[in-house]
Amino acid sequence: MIRLQDVELAYNDKKLFSAITWLIPDGSRIGLVGENGAGKTTLFRTILGDVALDGGAIEIASKERIGYLPQDLVELEPLPVMAYLRRKTGQEQLERNIHGCQEAMAFRDPHDPGFAAALKKLDAASEAFLMQDGYGFESRARRILKGLGFTPGDEEKNCRHFSGGWKMRIFLAVILLSGPEIMLLDEPTNHLDTESMEWLEGFLRDYRGTLLAISHDHMFLDKMVQQVAELHRGALTLTKGNYTRYLREKERHALALQKKRELQKAEIKRLQSYIDRFRAKASKASEVQSRIKQLEKFELLPAPLAAKRVRFRFPEGRRSGREVITADNLEKAYGGRTIFRDVSFTVCRGEKVALLGINGAGKSTLARLLARMEPPGSGAVHWGFQVKAGFFSQESEQNVSYGRTVWEEARAVEGGASDQEVRDLLGAFLFSGDDVLKPVSVLSGGEKSRLALVKILLQDSNCLILDEPTNHLDLRTREIFQEALRHYPGTIILVSHDRHFLDSLVNRVFELRAGRLYEYAGNYSHFVRKREAEIAAEEPGQGEPSASGPDAPTQKKTGKTREQRRLEAEERNRRGRARRELAEQVQELEGEIGRLEEVKCRDQKFLCDPAVLADSLRVQELMKELSEAEAKLKKLLPEWEQLMAELEKLETK
């Protein structure tokens, strides 16, 4: 359990946390959200103890280990991946402890008192090794590395030979292998492809500890969290449910506040009208004074800070022919390694196509071939009648001209937008004021990417080929771009890891897998379901006739029939569902118990305050509230114990 009590912190006169009190029960699954700069990462670092508080305290049970995945790239020790995992998870130290005890015993007489002490240490070290599943460490490590996208043999490569994104995956593997009681994950999906994201979500679904995640990945938060905590202006607001429910509740709350503010304004107008009407009448003097005092005490709710909404749609391009792009037996190789081969397809007018695959599968390469930015090794790419394509590359130098300013680069696009529309769009993509006068050559990589997207939005085109266009965008800017794409009348071929966006946009999916292209109709979610079914069907023993004939039940090496395995799987699924339901009930109960304990602690504190004791009515209210809290606790604690017993019983089966 994590307890934050009246936590306060300020940086450069900006209040990050204002007396935040928050109880996080064991087993919680929470998404931490908020605008950039709200203090989400800083809150994680305060929980870790890396940042000193200005006030308040954070309590964590000393036995609970914390696994923290930072958002920033980490530098790893120059060790082979498996050796690094052994060292950072403590596996190496466990083995050293055992070897040290064995060496201490090797040269001692069994009757020597030191021998008995060394034997006792060996027993303790061996038990710790078994508790950490030391003998299964390498197989677990290989399974996790595979899930995160590593290929066989990568575990023997030096950590320093991997790029930044792959180093973050290695660091994530350390956390998953360690199995800490608390996980703090800061943008865990940033460096993962969609396949690795799906695997990570499956892994975390079975994680029984406390999970706190900062993420801009809508689908990740929807699948993983049961509560959303929003940091805004130093305050923390909790919403039960996943991210989609949080968005609905936030909108409902904003509408309710707006309605309440309108009612307040109407009441103020009514009071002021009465004052103005009867101010001069002596007979109404007391009523007028009463209403003046009411107005003076009236606190009008502040108007919501509405962010400037920029809506932009692509210029209407010429209508292309029905067949927009045709790939004919494409093949591409680099350095003797074939990336893909025999890739053939046709994309028709108006289709929205997602191009997916694990990192290194060749998605960016295929996008460049389709955009005619480089030639294929063999085969051909054909553009249809009147096709005018816009291309966005992850490599910023391919998108912008370094010899111009930001304004000149944006204004040079022939799309028919007015100067004001161009300025509004640049502002929405974080180029405001004098920023538009900057030379393109001095922009950062993220700024160049944003400028390239502005050019894409301004361009007169009827086909877009986009390679990870939203990587460097904040949430608000990403929404502007994605909304424009949803209303784009032309054809789109898109490489992206934003699964929620893909779900709402695409109607066709191409997956590059093992050098081949696989095609799926429908959106991203449909693609995931179909791919899982295909992979399951390809597994040994699935749907294949046995040697005894086509009607004989299929058997694995265990000797169990397919029907036996099906019944066992159904029973496992039933127990799994029951465990999840019980765990949710336990979590909800723990939250209520924690709240009641806070009420009890608070009331007892007030009842020790001489100023409060002088107010008999206040004392009566507190005594009543305290009595009700204690009665509820007396009822809930046995329920919690019963649920925990049932949960433990299921987990031991």
Between CA 279 and CA 290 the distance in angstroms is 12
Phi-psi label, residue 353: left if phi above 0, alpha if psi -120 to 50, beta otherwise: beta
| Per-residue exposure over 452-482, b if at least 16 CB sit within 10 Å of its own CB, e if not | bbbbbbbbbbbbbbbbbbbebbeeebbbbbb
Residues in contact with 65: Cβ distance below 8 Å, sequence separation at least 6, in sequence order: 178, 180, 181, 182
Going by their DSSP bridges, the two strands 227-232 and 235-240 should be labelled as antiparallel
| 306 has a pLDDT exceeding 60 | no
Partnered with residue 513 across adjacent β-strands are 516
pLDDT at 421: 83
Q: Tell me 36's DSSP state.
A: T
| 547 has a pLDDT exceeding 70 | no
- Per-residue pLDDT band at 650 (split at 50, 70, 90): low
Most distant pair of Cα atoms in the chain: their distance: 111
For residues 199 and 588, the model is more confident at 199
| 559 has a pLDDT exceeding 50 | no
Residues in contact with 488: Cβ distance below 8 Å, sequence separation at least 6, in sequence order: 313, 314, 464
For residues 306 and 321, the model is more confident at 321
- Per-residue pLDDT band at 557 (split at 50, 70, 90): very low
- Per-residue pLDDT band at 597 (split at 50, 70, 90): confident
Give residue for tokens 């010429």: 318
pLDDT at 553: 37
pLDDT at 549: 40
Query: What is the CATH architecture assignment of 323-534?
Result: 3-Layer(aba) Sandwich (3.40)
| 491 has a pLDDT exceeding 70 | yes
pTM for the model stands at 0.66
Tokens of 447: 């700024």
Mean pLDDT of the chain: 83
| 369 has a pLDDT exceeding 90 | yes
| 322 has a pLDDT exceeding 70 | yes
| 87 has a pLDDT exceeding 50 | yes
Between CA 87 and CA 453 the distance in angstroms is 43
Between CA 319 and CA 496 the distance in angstroms is 26
Fold matches, 1-64+181-241 and 323-534: yes
Between CA 450 and CA 435 the distance in angstroms is 13
| 524 has a pLDDT exceeding 80 | yes
Calculate helix-pair angle for 194-205, 164-178, nearest 10 degrees.
10
Share of the chain above pLDDT 70, in %: 88
pLDDT at 551: 38
Average of per-residue pLDDT across 460-465 = 90
Calculate helix-pair angle for 562-606, 616-651, nearest 10 degrees.
160
Question: What is the dihedral sign for C-alpha 590, 596, 600, 601?
Answer: positive
Average of per-residue pLDDT across 32-44 = 86
Between CA 472 and CA 559 the distance in angstroms is 53
Share of the chain above pLDDT 90, in %: 28
Closest to 456 measured CA to CA, from 312, 567, 652: 312
| 194 has a pLDDT exceeding 50 | yes
| Identity of the residue numbered 442 | V
Laid out side by side, the sheet with 2-11 consists of 14-24, 2-11, 55-60
pLDDT at 396: 58
Tell me if 629 sits within 8 A of 603, measured CB to CB: yes
Cite the DSSP H helix spans in 279-389.
Answer: 285-297, 363-370
Q: How many CB atoms sit inside 10 A of residue 500's CB?
A: 19
Domain residue ranges of the chain, discontinuous segments joined by +: 1-64+181-241, 247-297, 323-534, 564-651
Average of per-residue pLDDT across 618-626 = 83
| 353 has a pLDDT exceeding 90 | yes
Closest to 13 measured CA to CA, from 197, 234, 181, 167: 234
Report angle CA 495, 496, 502 to the nearest 5 degrees.
Answer: 110
- Is residue 495 classed as helix, strand or coil in its secondary structure? strand
- In what helix (H) or strand (E) does residue 491 lie, and over which residues does it extend? strand 491-495
Tokens of 137: 């460490």
pLDDT at 177: 92
Tell me if 38 sits within 8 A of 232, measured CB to CB: yes
- Per-residue pLDDT band at 542 (split at 50, 70, 90): very low
Average of per-residue pLDDT across 626-650 = 79
- In CATH, the number for domain 1-64+181-241 is 3.40.50.300
Winning range, highest mean pLDDT, from 300-309, 372-381, 410-419, 453-462: 372-381
| 416 has a pLDDT exceeding 90 | no
Report angle CA 115, 118, 123 to the nearest 5 degrees.
Answer: 125
| 561 has a pLDDT exceeding 80 | no
Winning range, highest mean pLDDT, from 117-126, 339-348, 529-538, 619-628: 339-348
